[in-house]
Amino acid sequence: MTVRERIRQNISAAFYRHGLLCASYPVPIILFTSASILTCCYPLLKLPLPGTGPVEFTTGVRDYSTPSHESQGDLSERPDWYRGPPVAYIQQVLVKAAVSPWDNSLVPVDVFRSPLGRVFSVLEEIRNHVYTDRSLEALCLQVTDLLPGLRRMQAVLPEHGCLLVSPGNYWQNRRDLFDADPDLLKTVHQHEPKGLHTSATLKDLLFGVPGKQTGVNLYSKKRVVTYTITIALSSYDARFVASLRARLKQLHPSANCTLREDHMVHVHFKEEIGIAELIPLVTTYIILFAYIYFSTRKIDMVKSKWGLALAAVVTVLSSLLMSVGLCTLFGLTPTLNGGEIFPYLVVVIGLENVLVLTKSVVSTPVDLEVKLRIAQGLSNESWSIMKNMATELCIILIGYFTFVPAIQEFCLFAVVGLVSDFFLQMFFFTTVLSIDIRRMELADLNRRLPAEAGMPPPKPGPLRPRETPPPPRPSPHTITLQAPAFRNLRLPKRLRVVYFLARTRLAQRIIMVGTVIWIGILVYTDPAGLRTFLAAQVSEQSPLGEAGLPPHLGVAPVFPGGDPTSTLSGLPAPEPTPLPENQSQGHRAAHPEVAPVSSPQITWGPEDEELWRRLSFRHWPSLFSYYNITLAKRYISILPVIPVTLHLSPQEAIDTRHPQDTHHAPPPSIKTSDLQTDLTLYKVAALGLFAGVVLVLLLFCLYRVLCPRNYGQNGVPHGRRRRGDLPCDEYGYSPPISEISPLLLRGHSMDIECLASDGMLLASCCLVGHIRVWDAQTGDCLTVIPNNGLRRSSSSGCWEHRDGGGAVGGQDVDIFPIRRRTTPARPALFGDQPDLTPLIDTNFGLSPPSQALSSSGFDFGGLVEKAYQEHEPSPTLAFPPSPPPVLPPELPPQNNGDWDSSVWAMELRGNLIATGRSSGKLELWDAVEGSLRCSNEDGVSGITALAFLNNRIVAARLNGSLDFFTVEITKPLGLLQYRGPPGRGSLPPSPCYSSEDVISCQLTRSVQCAHQKPITVLKAAAGRVVTGSQDHTVRVYRLEDSCCLFTLQGHSGGITAIYIDQTMVLASGGQDGTICVWDVLTGSRVSHVYGHRGDVTSLVCTTSCIISSGLDDLICIWDRSTGIKLYSIQQEVGCGASLGVISESLLVTGGQGCVSFWDLNYGDLLQTVYLGQSSEGQSVRQLLVLDNAAIVCDFGSELSLVYVPSVLEKLD
């Protein structure tokens, strides 16, 4: 044993024990993991919340000095960004100007024209201010070109000089342009962007105050114009600033201004996330969600898919949080932008392990205890999990040695994340999985309890027109539809979509998510703006708010501007008591009681102190970004604002009027002005209302479409249901019930042994050796080929007892162990009597039935009576229901068929039935006429398998030899062919034989030692014959020249199943539970998988997948190209192993007295059709899929023909 093997075993054992532990103590382990997650996440509390909002730090003005670059450890209150000089010092001159007293002769434009005009003189003053020898020119921040993309702003923003912005920039700081401008508002608004915007606009930049507060509009109620002149200084000269302040104050005194002037605020901007940066981020998140979606979609076969998916996501997320938390705990502070690296971390850590675990656990045998299942599943996957983890750690280690700090940090996080993810997978997810599996088991248990067969259906339910009368005793069947899997066979695609929408409430969720995201974006990008908005709302709604109610306007003059004691910034001005002593404005105030219009009032409150806070927090970054100066990770210092109050006389306002100003509309009434100011609010409200109405309508429509009219009235659509758990989901609507009624073909007295079909005809052979030929379309019995010399009757249902010879074929049990024990044949009694042979215990097989009937020693009375009763209602069904289309001529008993041996293999092509007998005899029968056409007795050993392709028959014998026969037909001239109309699709290219043909069957080649041991499987397709034997090998022969092409070795057990189709895909399954896929052209093994514990009993392929069933009652679906197990279906114990594929996505399996239809794409059970009431114990052993979407399966002594009509509908 190599080291690797040993390690592997040890790991596997460890995982097994761990799985046992987890499944045994789920609750303590979940508590433990939760506790550890919380502990690890605890350090995260100390981290600042992520966000891009600016950070402020306030220092005093007096003792201010430019901070040095070196960090000073002792000053702990200083943030670490407060180092070095700021990008700029911002000095704002806040100008409030009003025309007062206001009189009615003034037009609305006068409110702002002359106040705005005064900006030029103030500007002039500032520009020309000189302190000692310093001028503004020397101190201000010199800017160069605007960014090339901003040509249209070139006329407005300063270039090549001081960064000094004011509303005057609109007019190039020239008074003459201003005076010549006929429409100031148009000039101001022409630069405004259209539509929704969150960042700073040009108007905000130039005015320096939020757009609403400027007062530059025609409907201003306060008639006070506010704007700032913003100066960006590159270096701070306290004396210059102080002198400027003093000068401006002196020129334009603000009377009751008590603004604080002793604090400067340093604003640090984090890295910006603009819309441009957001898009890649959003993209990565979309990819991440797609990844999670596609991953979790693969979780199957569990009780709660969503629950497990959630657990998986929680596992990954909390492992990330844990990694960050642990890193913080050990002193590694994250410097990377968490939001950006997060998706990559998730991708690195991945959800794969979780899914692999789930699949592995789910595919363990369902009859095991939950504990053992978990443990087994874990240990099965332990090696791959460990391998993956080691690989990932290696990759990350390599990444760590790139010595790039960012990558190193990422790697560090990823390592810790991986380890914690592993921990969580092992403890948290495994435990959740065990709980889920246990729940599923309980649910299964509950579902099985009320399992009983239903009553006979009220309607006979033949789904296609039939000439024959429906059976008087309708075959009992019940249909179960899985409630959660809403995919009914009959549901068309569009309905499925609608149901899907309804089930997931997609529309509502999308709307909800959209709203949340929108709000999130709003808050994220513009927190300041939102704050402003909220603050404005609050101040407007407060009854003391000056702008709130028009009647209060008159009282306004009595209020002084602001409360001097209040130093709180950001709060609306609290004006608790009107102060009677207002000094400067008192004389200018009009008498409020009589004045029809109020005079504008200039007030200074604490809210003016830091007016820049009301601006968008992107205000400064965007201003500087125009000059290609980034503020990201840098800071600016905002100096205390210089207040300037301007009072203009009405005369001055009239003087500065532009001739066109008076053409403007007359001053609107208060009412309309109210309307105008609140127009945006109304717009928003209308929009919201509209959206709401549309939403309600939409939902209503959705409801009407999806819910039946009688929603809520119980019981109307449920009348036909028989089982309590029939489909009706939680929303009250149910899919249409599709009923699939099996057609029972009765006639055989014993269990059916062989079944063959070529699409049109169906041949069956029972243990006794009776061969019956049925019409595969209608289910009519066409021919009966009786055994042991019973004179063949032409389907009149009665034949004479010719040879009472009786028991044959019972002795071969020991020869071939796989065969079922065959019971001795019973001679039939009378045609119109019930066949009692199945009732008789085989122990009494030797006693003739007539004795049994008359015997008083055994009380058969009840049994017989029951059989009679059962038989009574359907005297015409059990034996040929209608006159057959062809009445074959009565043949003399010249057929020298071999009556002594039983039929072991049968094939049907054209209308020839080839039967292989235990005596080694090959017989060819005419299927329609029931006559023996030819027989071949070249071989001695029993024929175990037959293949009939074109005109060749291949027979595999018990001794391992393989015989190739050629069927030769010598056609007499002018023959008529009896065949039904050609079926849909292409029939196999088999020749049709007519009764006049002389058919001979000759042994062309016999391969004596094809295999060392008995041949178990024989399949032929695409010109190849494939045999599988108990000697562990598969051989491929060419049909034409019977030449052995390949001997395929790879199984470590006898071959039990082989699949080959026209595309030359060969799959084989063996007793060792492995499945091999071979390339028939080259003989190479394409893939090799361990599928089952125990024999592989059946193999079918579709174009995309391989379906296998095994003795472990598991059906596994494998991807054909990769050999990866897609999922597996756990069936009930002891169910049949027969499989069939009806279409690309419809799988049919035989079970205990039922057949089940599965959706291959999802692995959902679509329907279960119960074949009969009485025979729950009988399992379907053979299952044939016919061309017309019907399936035929044996069911004890009966054949069952099940049409799948919905498949036909779908395909048409």
Residues 1024-1083 that bind another protein (CB under 8 A): 1056, 1059, 1061-1063
Q: Shortest approach of another protein to residue 324 CB, angstroms?
A: 18
Span interacting with another protein, options 80-88, 446-454, 784-792, 1099-1107, rule CB under 8 A? 1099-1107
Per CB under 8 A, 1017 contacts another protein: yes
Per CB under 8 A, 288 contacts another protein: yes
User: Could you count the other beta carbons within 10 Å of the beta carbon of residue 48?
Assistant: 6
Q: Shortest approach of another protein to residue 1203 CB, angstroms?
A: 13
Cis peptide before 101 (omega within 30 of 0): yes
Q: Shortest approach of another protein to residue 603 CB, angstroms?
A: 40
Span interacting with another protein, options 62-70, 651-659, 893-901, 1141-1149, rule CB under 8 A? 1141-1149
| Binding residues for another protein restricted to 403-422, rule: CB under 8 A | 403-407
Contacts of 430 (CB under 8 A, 6+ apart): 18, 19, 22, 23, 357, 374, 378
Span interacting with another protein, options 84-92, 336-344, 604-612, 841-849, rule CB under 8 A? 336-344
The two tokens of residue 1082 are 């080259």
Q: Shortest approach of another protein to residue 312 CB, angstroms?
A: 12
User: Could you count the other beta carbons within 10 Å of the beta carbon of residue 440?
Assistant: 18
Q: Shortest approach of another protein to residue 561 CB, angstroms?
A: 41
Q: Shortest approach of another protein to residue 1186 CB, angstroms?
A: 7
Q: Shortest approach of another protein to residue 758 CB, angstroms?
A: 8
Name the β-bridge partners of 1092: none
Contacts of 795 (CB under 8 A, 6+ apart): 781, 782, 783, 784, 880, 883, 884
DSSP string for residues in 103-134: -TT--GGGGTHHHHHTHHHHHHHHHT-EETTE
Determine how β-strand 89-99 pairs with β-strand 635-638. parallel
Span interacting with another protein, options 103-111, 321-329, 417-425, 1115-1123, rule CB under 8 A? 1115-1123
Name the β-bridge partners of 143: 161
Q: Where would I find the beta strands (DSSP E) of 526-609?
A: none
The Cα 1128–Cα 479 span in angstroms is 23
Q: Shortest approach of another protein to residue 372 CB, angstroms?
A: 28
Contact status, residue 763 vs residue 773, Cβ threshold 8 Å:
yes
Per CB under 8 A, 906 contacts another protein: yes
Contacts of 177 (CB under 8 A, 6+ apart): 171
Residue nearer to another protein on the CB measure, 994 or 1097: 1097
Phi and psi at residue 1149, to the nearest 5°: -125, 150
Give the count of residues interacting with another protein (CB under 8 A): 90
Contact status, residue 1096 vs residue 1108, Cβ threshold 8 Å:
yes
Contacts of 1167 (CB under 8 A, 6+ apart): 479, 480, 481, 488, 489, 738, 740, 1156, 1157
Comparing CA positions, the residue from 878, 834, 808 lying closest to residue 1199 is: 878
Per CB under 8 A, 287 contacts another protein: yes
Q: Identify the helix (H) or strand (E) that includes residue 764.
A: strand 761-766
Per CB under 8 A, 816 contacts another protein: yes
The two tokens of residue 484 are 């959660």
The mark string for 526-565 relative to another protein (x by CB under 8 A, - otherwise) is ----------------------------------------
Comparing CA positions, the residue from 1088, 1076, 1091, 1067 lying closest to residue 363 is: 1091
Determine how β-strand 761-766 pairs with β-strand 1105-1110. unpaired
Per CB under 8 A, 208 contacts another protein: no
Span interacting with another protein, options 146-154, 155-163, 446-454, 598-606, rule CB under 8 A? 146-154
Rg, Å, the chain Cα set: 46
Angle between helices 3-24 and 430-448 (to 10 degrees): 60
Contact status, residue 351 vs residue 296, Cβ threshold 8 Å:
yes
What's the burial of 692, exposed, middle or buried (CB within 10 Å: 0-12/13-18/19+)? exposed
Per CB under 8 A, 985 contacts another protein: yes
Among the listed residues 211, 274, 470, 1163, the single contact to another protein using CB under 8 A: 274
The Cα 259–Cα 606 span in angstroms is 6
The Cα 1177–Cα 372 span in angstroms is 29
SS3 1198: strand
Q: Shortest approach of another protein to residue 619 CB, angstroms?
A: 17
Q: Shortest approach of another protein to residue 334 CB, angstroms?
A: 15
Per CB under 8 A, 714 contacts another protein: no
Q: Shortest approach of another protein to residue 291 CB, angstroms?
A: 4
Q: Shortest approach of another protein to residue 1060 CB, angstroms?
A: 8
Residues, the chain: 1212
Among the listed residues 691, 818, 940, 1043, the single contact to another protein using CB under 8 A: 818
Q: Shortest approach of another protein to residue 1182 CB, angstroms?
A: 5
The mark string for 447-486 relative to another protein (x by CB under 8 A, - otherwise) is ----------------------------------------
Q: Shortest approach of another protein to residue 939 CB, angstroms?
A: 15
Per CB under 8 A, 154 contacts another protein: no
Among the listed residues 291, 400, 423, 978, the single contact to another protein using CB under 8 A: 291
Q: Shortest approach of another protein to residue 811 CB, angstroms?
A: 16
The Cα 79–Cα 74 span in angstroms is 12
The Cα 384–Cα 601 span in angstroms is 79
Q: Shortest approach of another protein to residue 959 CB, angstroms?
A: 14
CA 797 vs CA 829, 848, 1171: distances in Å: 11, 21, 24
Among the listed residues 595, 728, 829, 1141, the single contact to another protein using CB under 8 A: 1141
Cα dihedral 102, 105, 107, 108 sign: positive
Per CB under 8 A, 284 contacts another protein: yes
Among the listed residues 164, 224, 351, 641, the single contact to another protein using CB under 8 A: 351
Among the listed residues 254, 295, 787, 901, the single contact to another protein using CB under 8 A: 295
Span interacting with another protein, options 203-211, 866-874, 1034-1042, 1138-1146, rule CB under 8 A? 1138-1146
Among the listed residues 121, 135, 778, 1143, the single contact to another protein using CB under 8 A: 1143
User: Could you count the other beta carbons within 10 Å of the beta carbon of residue 1012?
Assistant: 12
Span interacting with another protein, options 309-317, 400-408, 521-529, 789-797, rule CB under 8 A? 400-408
Among the listed residues 83, 127, 819, 971, the single contact to another protein using CB under 8 A: 819
| Binding residues for another protein restricted to 100-129, rule: CB under 8 A | none
Among the listed residues 755, 877, 1034, 1201, the single contact to another protein using CB under 8 A: 755
Comparing CA positions, the residue from 356, 374, 355, 354 lying closest to residue 364 is: 374
Per CB under 8 A, 907 contacts another protein: yes
Per CB under 8 A, 858 contacts another protein: no
Q: Shortest approach of another protein to residue 733 CB, angstroms?
A: 26
| Binding residues for another protein restricted to 422-441, rule: CB under 8 A | none
The Cα 255–Cα 604 span in angstroms is 9
Among the listed residues 67, 108, 827, 1140, the single contact to another protein using CB under 8 A: 1140
Contact status, residue 288 vs residue 76, Cβ threshold 8 Å:
no
Residue nearer to another protein on the CB measure, 739 or 1061: 1061
Residue nearer to another protein on the CB measure, 631 or 945: 945
| Binding residues for another protein restricted to 490-519, rule: CB under 8 A | none
| Binding residues for another protein restricted to 920-959, rule: CB under 8 A | 944-947
User: Could you count the other beta carbons within 10 Å of the beta carbon of residue 802?
Assistant: 13
Per CB under 8 A, 1104 contacts another protein: yes
Residue nearer to another protein on the CB measure, 495 or 544: 495
Contacts of 510 (CB under 8 A, 6+ apart): none
